[in-house]
Structure 1
Amino acid sequence: MEKMRSESVAVYEWLVDKDHVHWSKAYFKDTAVYDMLCNNMCEAFNKAILQARDKPVITLMEMIRNYLMKRLVRKRAEMEKWNHDIRSNVFKVIERLKLESSICHPKYSGNFHYQVRGPGDDQHIVDIDKKTCACNRWQLTGIPCIHGISALLSSNCDLIDYIHNKYKKDNFIKAYAPVIYGINGSRMWSKTNDNPL
């Protein structure tokens, strides 16, 4: 916080006024297993439906349905090209973290626990059975941190087994398996006795 104050007193005072559970990763719950702090997904969806937003409700819904139908087809096709059992961007992160973990020194203490000394004499406890590290990054992201990777590599574990299931191909296949079927044009829709929209 002192470093924050030296950068900007206004930001420091604003943060001090707020409950730390809302802005500090140290206090985030690890149940979400997601490292994003912004609303990129909402913004991406809003951008995708931008042309549809000012349309009448049925046209709006039809444009969204078409967008989602194409997206599901595209995602299923992308998954067919996966070379690994995890997303390619996660695989790249793991490869980078493997290199970074080479500066760590794990010491096995028993019962799946490791004491891992990292850069700058930093030291963390890793429990590979529970997939946790004292730095909390593994719990927050679902991807082992450099301390976790160091411990896993020293025990000859397959890193893929210790990545959260949400990044695995099987779960992506399940998520994108539903089909949004095409529908006939409005001229072929059933007529009702209700008032038109």
Structure 2
Amino acid sequence: MSKDGLMASCSKKIYFDDICEPEQVAKDFFEAGRATTNMSLNNLCEVFNGRLVDRRDKPIISCLEFIRECMMKRIYNVLKVQHKCVGPLTPTTTKITKKNEAGTTQYITYSCGDEKYQVKGPWNDQHVVNMRERVCSCREWELTGIPCKHVIFVLDNKEDHGECVNELHTYVHKVHWLQT
């Protein structure tokens, strides 16, 4: 029986519990520091592979020339986007940080000492932020390299209490900077 047929004949919970390995689909099992994305797919590879499908039956020189041209176009398009950017971060990273900043209005933070903070949300959700190790218990900062709303709230709270806080972009992983 195919996976589609199996999926149709049983509930999603049974399918994901018995067929899929949690290590492959759950963010809890993603290795921190290895990748700076919280997605399990690499769309860039999929797009590139899709463009090569038509050229695979061509001679190797023609295929390599096509790859070179594709890469030149991609680099040129990325440089065009970079020249339009204001600030040190990529446009996508800037958009994500602004969205995270907007979501920090209803949090309460408690200092636990040693650069650790408990952040309590409006729905009684709680997270621990360790500023020294740059880790939040929601794991978004660890997985993406972009500070989550809990981290941004801690930074805002520290600044409100007169502590010296660097600019937000200094807490973003270097892969999200325009320089890289």
Q: Which TM-score bucket, shorter chain as reference?
A: 0.7 to 0.9
Counterpart for residue 12 of structure 2: 11
Q: Secondary structure at the match of 1:121?
A: coil
The 3 A distance-change label for structure 1 pair 60 and 138 is same
Counterpart for residue 140 of structure 2: 137
Q: Secondary structure at the match of 2:105?
A: helix
TM-score (norm: length of structure 1): 0.76
1:115-137 Cα deviation digits (max 9, x unpaired): 10013111111011211111111
- The answer as to 2:91 corresponding to 1:91 is no
The structural deviation recorded for 1:74 is 2.6
- The answer as to 2:177 corresponding to 1:168 is yes
Q: Secondary structure at the match of 1:155?
A: helix
Structure 2 alignment gaps of length 5 or more: 1-8, 160-164
Computing the radius of gyration from Cα coordinates, the structure with the larger value is 1
Q: Which moved more, 1:117-126 or 1:73-82?
A: 73-82
The structural deviation recorded for 1:90 is 1.1
- Matched ranges for 1:70-89 at <5 A: 70-89=73-92
User: Structure 1 residue aligned with 2:63, among 60, 63, 68?
Assistant: 60
Counterpart for residue 191 of structure 1: none
The residue type equivalent to 1:118 in the other structure is: G
User: Structure 1 residue aligned with 2:30, among 28, 31, 39?
Assistant: 28
The residue type equivalent to 2:176 in the other structure is: Y
Q: Tell me the matched-pair count.
A: 164
Between the aligned residues of both structures, percent identity stands at 30
CA distance in 1 between counterparts of 2:10 and 2:97 reads 37
8 Å contact from structure 2 (residues 27, 38) kept in 1: no
Q: Secondary structure at the match of 1:97?
A: helix
8 Å contact from structure 1 (residues 52, 64) kept in 2: no
- RMSD of the alignment, in Å? 1.8
CA distance in 1 between counterparts of 2:74 and 2:26 reads 34
The residue type equivalent to 2:32 in the other structure is: D
CA distance in 1 between counterparts of 2:42 and 2:81 reads 24
Structure 1 alignment gaps of length 5 or more: 1-7, 172-197
The residue type equivalent to 1:29 in the other structure is: E
TM-score (norm: length of structure 2): 0.82
The structural deviation recorded for 1:10 is 2.6
User: Structure 2 residue aligned with 1:105, among 99, 103, 108?
Assistant: 108
CA distance in 2 between counterparts of 1:39 and 1:167 reads 16
Q: Secondary structure at the match of 2:133?
A: coil
Q: Secondary structure at the match of 1:33?
A: coil
